[in-house]
Amino acid sequence: MAINVGERMPQGEFTQMTDKGPAKLGTDELFKGKKVVLFGLPGAFTPTCSAKHVPGFLQNAGALAAKGVDTIACVSVNDAFVMGAWAKDQGTGTKVLMLADGSAEYTKKLGLDLDLTARGMGVRAKRFAIVVNDGIAKHVAVENSPADLTVSSAEAILKAV
Average pLDDT of the residues in 122-128: 90
In a domain, 4, yes or no: no
Question: CA-to-CA distance for 76 and 84, rounded, in angstroms?
Answer: 12
What CATH number has the domain bearing residue 146?
Answer: 3.40.30.10
In a domain, 8, yes or no: no
pLDDT confidence tier of residue 136, bands split at 50, 70 and 90: very high
Considering the entire predicted model, what is its pTM?
A: 0.95
Checking if the pLDDT of 128 tops 80, the result is: yes
In a domain, 45, yes or no: yes
pLDDT confidence tier of residue 121, bands split at 50, 70 and 90: confident
Residues taking part in catalysis: 49
In a domain, 2, yes or no: no
Task: For 146-155, write each residue's pLDDT tens digit.
Answer: 889 999 999 9
Range of the domain at 66: 13-160
In a domain, 3, yes or no: no
In a domain, 6, yes or no: no
Q: What is the pLDDT of residue 101?
A: 97
Task: For 48-103, write each residue's pLDDT tens digit.
Answer: 888 899 999 999 999 999 999 999 999 999 999 999 999 999 999 999 999 999 99
Total tally of structural domains belonging to the chain: 1
Task: For 15-48, write each residue's pLDDT tens digit.
Answer: 999 999 999 999 999 999 999 999 999 988 988 8
In a domain, 44, yes or no: yes
